[in-house]
Structure 1
Amino acid sequence: MSYWFLCGKGKVFGFSCGLRRGFNYQQTFSLVNVKLKWVKDKALDAVIAGERDLRAACNLVSILSSAPDFCLPIYHLSRHRGQLGLPHDHKLSTFIRRYPTIFHESYVFDSAGTLVPCFELTLEALNLYHEELGVIRDNMIDLIDRLCKLLMLTKDRILPLQTIDQLKWDLGLPYFYIDNLIPNYADLFSLFRLPDDRIGLKLLSWDDTLAVSQLEKNVAQQTEEDLKNNCLAFPIGFTRGFGLKRKCMGWLEEWQKLPYTSPYADASHLDPRTDVSEKRIVGVFHELFHLTIQKKTERKNGSL
């Protein structure tokens, strides 16, 4: 049971054109809204649907592994339902019973004397969970770096725990990362109460060695001229059946030639209404996807 990723599709709209004159670029106000036909990728949709069940099962394994005797009654498991990602009309006990090789069912009496279902991990699931813990330990540095870079993408290096919880599966973080991981790195992270009374996780210090985006690392994919002018272009591929009209492709090609602003750089000087600023926003999403294990996440997780 490893925490490797479930996610959805990300779409970027609003390709625009910019003006290029030698090494001088203008922050032009030529944003163009392009209506694109929504094209389904049935193969990818099937993978996503299967990963939703995988995510829920893995999270349940983590919850049960922290319980005495690796067993909990259904009403205790229901308290974690919001973190499982199951549809609201799915009964939790019905979902668990679909996987008898992972969960063994028995019955216990609750405080009112009512017999209720109780679930525990099978021996096979427990062995697999211990194997997963070994994988996490072996990749701990990488996990910490991903979390640091995620916080470095934000203005104040801080995010609500609620937001990180939505991404923890994608980032490969353990289910109980707040209790089992963060306390071991008190020199890097600290919990803060936010103005809206939510709890946030803050990165205490900036690491310049981590402030290099994936696009900047992939210099082999860029032309010598683009590297010289810092006009890095995003790699683009289209789903089968999806395409852009020639006019839209022209906009995209010009937009790709705009200066690239690293998602880790101070962008306060950029006018948010311009094409250059728009490209910087796309760069933030591009970097976010590359921080995830499978380079994808659900659309709802895109608002950091």
Structure 2
Amino acid sequence: MAMTRSTLRSLNPKNPNSSVLILHFIRNFSLWSMKKDPALESSLSRNRRWIINNQIKNIILRCPNQVASVRFLQKKFKSLDLQGKALNWLKKYPCCYDVYLDNDEYYFKLTKRMMSLVEEEESIKDLQEPILMERLAKLLMMSCNHRLNVVKFNELKRNFGFPDDYLIRILPKYPEMFRIVNYSGKRSTMDIELVSWNPSLAVSVLENVAKERQVGPGFTCSLPLSWGKSWDRFNEFNRIPYISPYVDGRDFVEGSKEMEKRTLGLLHELLSLTLWKKASILKLGHFRREFILPEKLNVFLLRHPGIFYVSNKYQIYTVVLREGYNGSELIHKDPLVVVKEKFGELMQEGLHEYNRRRHALNLEKKKKKGMIMMRSGKKEQRSVAEASEEDDQRGKQRNLYNPEERKRFYEILFDGDAA
């Protein structure tokens, strides 16, 4: 039942029917609400420009000789949800793209620094193939039939760090571990199936940590001590013995505390295997049958605020593993995350350089028109070069020493730069 605040105010508390509606509203509102954590909300910020530039990078890499015409990119602008001229967009990022004129037509390619990052990313993917193999095996071992639908898995493959070509790049190298099956003959029912069970992989992150500390496995509550009631509920629930997510969930009674404990461990393990320790709740819900997840996954996650943080930023429900973050910073960064951050820094550097040039050009134009008056007295007017140099130094200091400023290029605030 959906109720607005104005509807709630119009209800008469003395009316029995109204009282029932008010109680119903309060219960449902509490289930879908979580006190906002500004730091974790910041970690969910998405940089639209980074996403678009990453898509443009992939477009160039698929082109012959990794060179494309600006006219070709212009035709792709609608699919990239962009407007305006492609040439103007490319010129905003001189550190990412080389734009040149050939036979009266503009072409572009990736800069040497950008290609260096592409090569670094590919090298990391090659080195991480054994890790991705283990990650995929763990996911299959947690599923009830040891199978995952390819179409469904593709929705979350990037969360786990899998490249687009993982089916032909990784799976054929491990025939003793995986195989592709299709029992119905339809393309949409193609599954990845586990061939052999590896006991050494059927150990969760929590179990590994507990072994190192020589204690029993258990969850960590990341809430402030002022959340007294939530801490009490967490401690009470944590007394129930830990159940490994690699135990078959069909062995437990639905709705039991043991089943809830196993589900909690499974969701913790799934998020621990992701690069950014977070995932779309909607996409996780697509695997409800495979992982035996509760039908109302949002409600389940909100019952455990000490372990998970649920946000509706951008109108998309996302779950974050609290212990994976220190404030808004990811604690343990996968090498793929590090190289993606380097791409963001390079993009920011190019955007800063573009804005600096435009600022200098605008000043020169104003000088020619006599709009800038020379200041007299002791104060000396700084030259554009000096101001630019200081701006560069400030930019470097922000990127190197201030984590909050470092994360700014991951936010959509870039939309306010010079046109």
The aligned counterpart of 2:116 is 127
Deviations 1:268-297 (A, max 9, x none): 221011121011111111001111223222
The aligned counterpart of 2:346 is none
* 2:37 aligned residue (30, 38, 41): 41
In the alignment, structure 1 residue 189 sits paired with structure 2 residue 183: no
User: How far apart, CA to CA, are the structure 2 residues paired with 1:169 and 1:223?
Assistant: 34
Give the Å deviation of 1:209: 1.0
The aligned counterpart of 1:6 is none
Aligned positions, number: 251
Give the secondary-structure state (helix, strand or coil) at the position aligned to 2:248. coil
Say if 1:151 and 1:77 are closer, same or farther in 2 by CA, change over 3 A. Answer: farther
Give the Å deviation of 1:180: 2.6
In the alignment, structure 1 residue 213 sits paired with structure 2 residue 204: yes
User: How far apart, CA to CA, are the structure 1 residues paired with 2:241 and 2:264?
Assistant: 12
User: How far apart, CA to CA, are the structure 1 residues paired with 2:139 and 2:112?
Assistant: 36
Q: Is the 8 A contact 1:149 1:210 kept in 2?
A: yes
The aligned counterpart of 2:139 is 150
Say if 1:193 and 1:59 are closer, same or farther in 2 by CA, change over 3 A. Answer: farther
Larger RCO (alpha carbons 8 Å, 6+ apart): 1
TM-score (norm 1): 0.67
User: How far apart, CA to CA, are the structure 1 residues paired with 2:109 and 2:277?
Assistant: 33
* 1:160 aligned residue (145, 149, 157): 149
TM-score (norm 2): 0.50
User: How far apart, CA to CA, are the structure 2 residues paired with 1:222 and 1:78?
Assistant: 53
Q: Is the 8 A contact 1:96 1:103 kept in 2?
A: no
* 1:251 aligned residue (216, 233, 236): 233
Give the Å deviation of 1:157: 1.9
The aligned amino acid for 1:145 is E
Farther-moved stretch of structure 1 (54-63 vs 200-209): 54-63
Where in structure 2 are the equivalents of 1:48-87 lying within 5 Å? Answer: 48-50=44-46, 53-54=49-50, 57-58=53-54, 60-72=56-68, 73-74=72-73
Q: Is the 8 A contact 1:102 1:125 kept in 2?
A: yes
Where in structure 2 are the equivalents of 1:1-304 lying within 5 Å? Answer: 35=31, 37-50=33-46, 53-54=49-50, 57-58=53-54, 60-72=56-68, 73-74=72-73, 90=82, 97=90, 99-104=93-98, 120-193=109-182, 195=184, 197-198=187-188, 199-219=190-210, 227=216, 232-238=217-223, 244-246=227-229, 248-303=230-285, 304=287
User: How far apart, CA to CA, are the structure 2 residues paired with 1:182 and 1:92?
Assistant: 42
- Flag the structure with higher helix content: 2
Farther-moved stretch of structure 1 (288-297 vs 183-192): 183-192
Q: Is the 8 A contact 2:129 2:170 kept in 1?
A: no
User: How far apart, CA to CA, are the structure 1 residues paired with 2:241 and 2:144?
Assistant: 21
Q: Is the 8 A contact 2:144 2:250 kept in 1?
A: no
Farther-moved stretch of structure 1 (53-62 vs 126-135): 53-62
For structure 2, the residue ranges without an aligned partner over 5 or more in a row are 1-26, 288-419
User: How far apart, CA to CA, are the structure 2 residues paired with 1:172 and 1:203?
Assistant: 19
Give the secondary-structure state (helix, strand or coil) at the position aligned to 1:171. coil
Give the Å deviation of 1:90: 5.0
Say if 1:141 and 1:76 are closer, same or farther in 2 by CA, change over 3 A. Answer: farther
Q: Is the 8 A contact 2:179 2:192 kept in 1?
A: yes
Deviations 1:122-169 (A, max 9, x none): 332222111222222222211211121122221122222233222222
Q: Percent identity?
A: 25
Give the Å deviation of 1:188: 2.5
User: How far apart, CA to CA, are the structure 1 residues paired with 2:93 and 2:247?
Assistant: 47
Q: Is the 8 A contact 1:261 1:267 kept in 2?
A: no
Give the Å deviation of 1:63: 4.7
Q: Is the 8 A contact 1:189 1:203 kept in 2?
A: yes
User: How far apart, CA to CA, are the structure 2 residues paired with 1:142 and 1:222?
Assistant: 24
Deviations 1:29-74 (A, max 9, x none): xxx9974742333333334324665455445434532432114533
